[in-house]
Amino acid sequence: MDKKIKIRSCWLMTLLLFIATSLGASEKVLLVGIDGVQYERILALNTPAFDRLNLIKAYAGGVQWQKTQQRTVSGPGWSTIMTGVWKNKHNISSNTDGAANNNWPSIYRHIYNANPQAKIYGYSTWGPIHSQFFARDMEVLTAHAEGGSDDDNLNRTLNVLENDFPDFIFLHLDEPDAAGHSHGHGQAYDDSIVRSDRRLGLLLDAVAFREQQFSENWLVLVTTDHGRNLAGKGHGGQTKKEKTIFIASNKPLHYQYKNYTAVPNNSFDGLYKEPAQTYIVPTILNFLGIMTDDHWGLDGLPLIGPIEAKSIYVNIGGKQCGLEWDINAGTPMTISRNEHVAKFDCEGNADPMFIMGNKVYTNIHGSGCGLQWDVDKGTPLTLEENEHVAKFDCAGYADLMKIIGKEISATINDQICGFQWDADAGTPVTLGSNEHVAKFDCMGSADPITIK
Ligand SMILES: [Zn+2]
């Protein structure tokens, strides 16, 4: 190489580095999706690239029999991975549905909204992720491709990692799913996973090189959309094997989420105590510093960063009563499919709550549900003129609360309303002798609460 050119290219790289670092944060994300990989086969096979990552079990398909349930097929699965919500929100229930629900943006759109200068790339061997579900988001991508082979899209990704300054890349690889459909479990399927592992190794090398070269901090996440049925040739049902997936990362993923689960049953050998594929988007947003409390309309939690589960208690007649959501669908207390009445239970434990900013959330059947006051006057749930029943809404966002010391209050129609338990036994809103409906009272003060 001519010395002059060498000096010039060195100068050019320094300039590019200067521009890249001056543009913003050094946090970058690579999300690799490998279609139809059975978690247990990664453990069983020699997969040196996966061995470089922290690998945890997770679940797909939502929570069975609940509104979050979705088929363990690619359309709903990738839509959940890209949006952080289940089918009841993203609206994709099969591989042939059109566009996903605009109200729940893809990770592409979230990153663009936070930083319109961000360089976002997407390469998807399975085309519908880009051409059907998130077609409208292609406009925010610096470059994208759909279809072709895994190696085509691997090479596109490596090229970007080696020659550009990407902020976010999503790469979808398809070979294991195709091998599974053709051959079921066996040598061909296992070989496809080993080849995927080699591709992953090249990506991890390219990321490691960038981290050394440009002092960038990369989050790498690897996941799959679904497991496989018994023979391995198909998938789509609600079996433990089809629902079991994985999340792998170059960063440590915390395990406290096991205490967050508010799914009452313990089906599939406790699989619901693992994180779900809804945790991918909150994890990425958190790492990039664009996670706000508003994002908890999402159905998952970040697997990195400081998130703590809290319990909220009040003292009723000398008893410690924990804040819970109402699990009994179909009772007069269930407002609608997406709403659950908040109550204080003086017999059992409190449900885990997440206090993020000035909002209170809980996880109900795999959904992120925000604490709200009930705006519908005249329903049997409105106690009287100045009282509003507290509820958890799993479709929308939480209402803004003021959480100061021992009190929670909300502003309702310009009035300050304190969070209280319902003392009036015998009203239609009293659930049982040991249960009290939580409410916001706009006349008096709030009841003192304890947050543990
Ligand atoms: Zn498939």
Consecutive sets of 10 residues in the chain, 452 residues long: mean pLDDT of each? 44 48 74 98 98 96 92 98 96 96 95 96 98 98 98 98 98 98 98 98 98 96 98 97 98 78 73 92 94 80 83 81 67 61 79 82 84 63 67 78 82 80 55 72 77 82
**Spatial contact of 412 and 377, defined as CB atoms under 8 Å apart:** no
| Gap from CA of 53 to ligand 1 centroid (Å) | 25
| Gap from CA of 178 to ligand 1 centroid (Å) | 7
What DSSP state is assigned to residue 230? S
| Gap from CA of 139 to ligand 1 centroid (Å) | 28
Q: State the pLDDT at residue 412.
A: 77
Nearest residue to 106 (alpha-carbon basis) of 126, 129, 88 = 129
**Multiple choice CATH, 22-297, 3.30.70.2860, 3.40.50.970, 3.40.720.10, 3.40.50.2300:** 3.40.720.10
Q: State the pLDDT at residue 284.
A: 97
| Gap from CA of 235 to ligand 1 centroid (Å) | 7
| Gap from CA of 84 to ligand 1 centroid (Å) | 21
Q: Which residues touch 339 (CB under 8 Å, ≥6 apart)?
A: 391, 392, 393, 394, 395
Question: Which token pair is 224?
Answer: 């799959």
Whose structure tokens read 């690579």? Answer: 30
| Gap from CA of 69 to ligand 1 centroid (Å) | 18
| Gap from CA of 177 to ligand 1 centroid (Å) | 5
| Gap from CA of 234 to ligand 1 centroid (Å) | 6
* Ion ligand 1: protein residues whose beta carbon lies under 5 Å: 36, 177
Domain ranges of the chain: 22-297, 312-451
| Gap from CA of 170 to ligand 1 centroid (Å) | 19
Q: State the pLDDT at residue 277.
A: 96
| Gap from CA of 218 to ligand 1 centroid (Å) | 29
| Gap from CA of 263 to ligand 1 centroid (Å) | 28
| Gap from CA of 226 to ligand 1 centroid (Å) | 8
**Spatial contact of 106 and 137, defined as CB atoms under 8 Å apart:** yes
Q: State the pLDDT at residue 348.
A: 67
| Gap from CA of 280 to ligand 1 centroid (Å) | 20
Q: State the pLDDT at residue 2.
A: 41
Q: At residue 26, what is the residue type?
A: S
- Tell the burial category of 251 from Cβ atoms under 10 Å away from its Cβ (0-12, 13-18, 19+): middle
| Gap from CA of 149 to ligand 1 centroid (Å) | 16
| Gap from CA of 428 to ligand 1 centroid (Å) | 49
**Spatial contact of 391 and 342, defined as CB atoms under 8 Å apart:** yes
Q: State the pLDDT at residue 23.
A: 47
